[in-house]
Amino acid sequence: MYNNLIMVQNKLDLIFKAYDVRGVYGETLTKEIAYNIGIAFSQFIESETIIVGHDGRNSNLEIFDCVAAGITSNDKKVFYIGTFPTDVVYSLSGIMDLPGLIITASHNPKEWNGFKFCNSGASPIGIESGLLEIKELASQNYKEPSGQININKEDIVSTYIDHLKTIVHPENIDSSIKFAVDGGNGAIGSVIDNLTSAYNLNYQGIYMDVDGNFPNHPADPSDSENLVELIELVQKNKYEFGVAFDGDADRAVFSDNQGNIISGSIMTAIISDWLLEKRKMIKVVHNVNVPPTVVNYLSGKGVHMIRSKVGHSYIKQIMRDEDADFGGEHSAHFYLRENYYADSGILTLLIFLQILSEKKQTPSELISNYSFFPSSGEINFVVKDVKESIAKIEESFDKSFDKLDGISYFEDNYWFNIRGSNTEPKLRLNAEAENSNLLNGLINKISNIIEE
């Protein structure tokens, strides 16, 4: 038993990240671990009922059975909603004032799975707000589940759609706007028909079937290679824009009508400008990867900009503490106060449609208003030792570094942030510079330091 507890603890150390849980199913994330996490989460929260859903991964039902057994073994109830995007759980948690758990590994490969948690009212749970306590509770030795449990699936689609309608009214969207959607065979496919009916969406979709094998390409829109077919579809059919969702559809990446990818930072500026026009004074939380030119632009217009570490649990908590209107990440997670401060790729799509409807502009015309420095996008490096690589970079630059999250370096004509991923064994670099030559030189310098 002692050895088994050590094995469980070792696996928990590997899969508990800064703001969620992720591991390879059958290796670091096992049925036993899933059962223990079900018990642990049910002990951590005060509510007698927990909302549980999952995305479309192949291992979800096996993991759900174990999690549900853990929850019910602690005499708590499972409100099971089935296959849905992550933001549906967040929205229901806010609407019903219940804690939520979604089984998902977001954009990770098909072998992976994991968990995202929230407390009642969609309150975030991360490493500094309960995740360590859940991990500690999950490391205990529990009795194996006895017997079969029967959990009924709840029909909640109309509740979710009605919530969206309170934020973006269907009559505010021009149904003549034609666009393309790449579902990536992820969870967006579980609600797209309901969204289309409610909002009269005028779109052409590719890879909309929910398929945990992800047979067409990884459900990771942060990789531009995964956007090639979407951009070709937009340009071929002269659509207004394209949008690609990740595996659990809490993130949406857009391209304009000319095939340009709209970065998460530019979308942060677009939505912030729109909200500022309507509210006159707004607070916006952004992570360390949103470039200074975007932050300075919005600050110059009177937006109260608040900087955060990367990760949904950090941004949500700051938004709650500050009662912020909006939150934006360079990685294309977008948060809204009216959505219980939670991120939603679906709501971002609806807001973007309303902005285009009101402004009567194409997306390329809209983004032409933003003349920011050239940006690298996110560049990933697989390294043996994250801390060692970051230390080498620090030694290679003259000025001191900001260390809110990873290291950030500021010069008048360039900037970069480099940090270890919270979900994968990688270094992530984001940079901008006043011209492409300077940017390319900066990227080459940092690459050489990391790879030497």
Catalytic residue chosen out of the listed positions 59, 73, 106, 331: 106
Total number of residues shown for the chain? 452
Structure tokens at 395: 């030694």
| β pairing state of 407-410 and 178-182 | unpaired
Q: Please provide the DSSP assignment of 398-427 as one string.
A: SS--B-SSSEEEE-SSEEEEEEE-SSSS-E
Separation CA 377–CA 375 (nearest Å): 6
Active site residue 408: no
Separation CA 342–CA 318 (nearest Å): 12
Residue 287, helix vs strand vs coil: strand
Separation CA 300–CA 49 (nearest Å): 46
Residue 110, helix vs strand vs coil: coil
Separation CA 86–CA 108 (nearest Å): 14
Separation CA 267–CA 273 (nearest Å): 10
Structure tokens at 86: 């992550």
**Helices marked H in 308-406:** 312-322, 345-359, 363-367, 386-395
Residue 264, helix vs strand vs coil: helix
> Which residues pair with residue 208 across a beta bridge?
none
DSSP 187: G
Instruction: Determine how many CB atoms are found less than 10 A away from the CB of residue 179.
Output: 25
Backbone angles phi, psi at 427, to 5 degrees: -95, 140
Residues 6 or more apart whose Cβ sits within 8 Å of residue 92: 51, 81, 98, 100, 156, 159, 160
Buried b (16+ CB within 10 A) or exposed e, 69-105: bbbbbeebebbbbbbbbbbbbbbbbbbbebbbbbbbb
Inter-residue contact 265 to 291 (CB < 8 Å): yes
The CA–CA distances, whole Å, from 168 to 88, 250, 319, 446 equal 16, 17, 20, 43
List the catalytic residues: 106
